[in-house]
Structure 1
């Protein structure tokens, strides 16, 4: 466990997922975490069901914490940071930003020279299965081991140059949606060939889990694993070739690139 308190400014899906993941990992207790939102009723369940501290007061949340995680929408970020910049101090706080599209330089312009870490997790952080990318400013590097250790408890981490953060956002964060869309499509196909909706979804979810473990645990590449189940004149290759003919791989690649270009537009 860590002894520091954390303030999470923004109790939306990502902010609450981080909080739940920290507790589920055993790294922190709910009492160490304060979550804020402008509308208290929207996060009341986080107190009633999970035991977190909640408040609408960002300043008081920061004053009671050593680590501050900003998890608001990009459109609300600068107004929030300007509101709290007087209480965010280099000697007392480490700032972790999960704001998509907001660069470390942008944060430094508002907050000055303080430890800043830009982090891009995904919502699987709530079950300790996130793929989280991290970039540090110079002062933030002093806390590199501590911060990486925190997010290592919540899945897998990769420390990258900030220039790669747009790519990490699309593949590691948005990628959850891409994978779930595949799961939904596979499940719908299962319904069409005779399974119930519930059973079809269970099958699709388990095959995704199994496929991922084959790659991660065997340190393998998809193609050799695909070759193991594609026999000559077989069902698998017939299905795969039909999917490729309909644009399966090319549409997914195009979608990843489109998302990447959208982020570059936002950040430019």
Structure 2
């Protein structure tokens, strides 16, 4: 497919790089007003342009990775140039119906919420769509399954998906950073501590994804009576580890809904 990404920020670039590496049978164009910051994409076979409508008539899919307040302006800018396209929105807080009202009914509109790990083929990209667009949505699902996982969810959960899947990347990284800092305190140099903490988090996630069990079942394998793991876990819980994470996620969701 020919994929036209409007918005060359962190997420737009991550999607472009992910597609180029893990779904290489597709052609990608990225547009941004200031293309100097993304000029390196050309070396990877990605076309760039300052013009949002650049060759957009040839695109099979148009992906929006702009700010919410830019959506209406961008859609009106390209609307005269496109017919019967699949429009994918990775924009937080903008509903399918809002986009549909701007572009009309002759376009399929699908919402996605990836995270920046899409660049490395490891995103959890939540997808929602209306029943009338089911055929077009399947192509989108297949594309993002090559870039990680692509669960289909109800649109009303898209804000929650933003917090859990996209903001969640930062939460996971903060855990790794804290583990790294602790590692330094107990004797490792910073690079070794980071390598151990990051690989340990990756391994724990892989076990969950492969075995499809509750985290506590895997925790039970690591904890032994009167052992060092259980006392560490209990101390973290006494200090509010789980409750602070839950509160943080809920606070992020409240911010989106403001």
TM-score, normalised relative to structure 2: 0.95
How far 1:224 sits from its partner (Å)? Answer: 1.6
Q: Summarize deviations over 1:176-231 as a string: whole Å, max 9, x none.
A: 11111100110011011110100000000111011111111111111121122222
Choose from 20, 34, 42 the match for 1:39: 34
Q: Does 1:11 align with 2:5?
A: no
Runs of 4+ more than 6 Å apart = none
**CA shift digits 1:58-115 (9 cap, x unpaired):** 112412312111111212222211211222322xx11011011111111012111120
Q: Distance in 1 between matches of 2:180 and 2:93?
A: 33
Structure-2 change in CA distance of 1:13 and 1:61 (3 Å):
farther
Q: Which runs of 5+ in 2 are unaligned?
A: none
- Any conservation in 2 of the 1:27–1:153 contact (CA below 8 Å)? no
Give the counterpart of 1:131 among 124, 135, 159. Answer: 124
Indicate yes or no: 2:67 matched with 1:70.
no
Please, which of 182, 195, 198 is the counterpart of residue 189 of structure 1?
182
RMSD (Å) for aligned C-alpha atoms: 1.3
Pairwise mapping of residues 179-218 of structure 1 onto structure 2 (< 5 A)?
179-218=172-211
For these two proteins, the number of residue pairs brought into alignment is 257
SS in 1 for 2:81: coil
TM-score by length of 1: 0.92
d(CA) in 2 for partners of 1:124, 1:111: 30
* In structure 2, C-alpha distance between the alignment counterparts of 1:139 and 1:5, rounded to whole Å: 22
Task: List per-residue Cα deviations over 1:23-52 (Å, max 9, x = no partner).
Answer: 2114435xx2111000111211111x3121
- Verify: 1:23 aligned to 2:20, yes or no: yes
Q: Determine the C-alpha separation between the residues in 1 that align with 2:24 and 2:44.
A: 15
- The answer to whether structure 1 residue 84 and structure 2 residue 78 are counterparts is yes
Note the C-alpha offset of 1:119. 0.5
Q: Could you tell me which residue of structure 1 aligns to residue 215 of structure 2?
A: 222
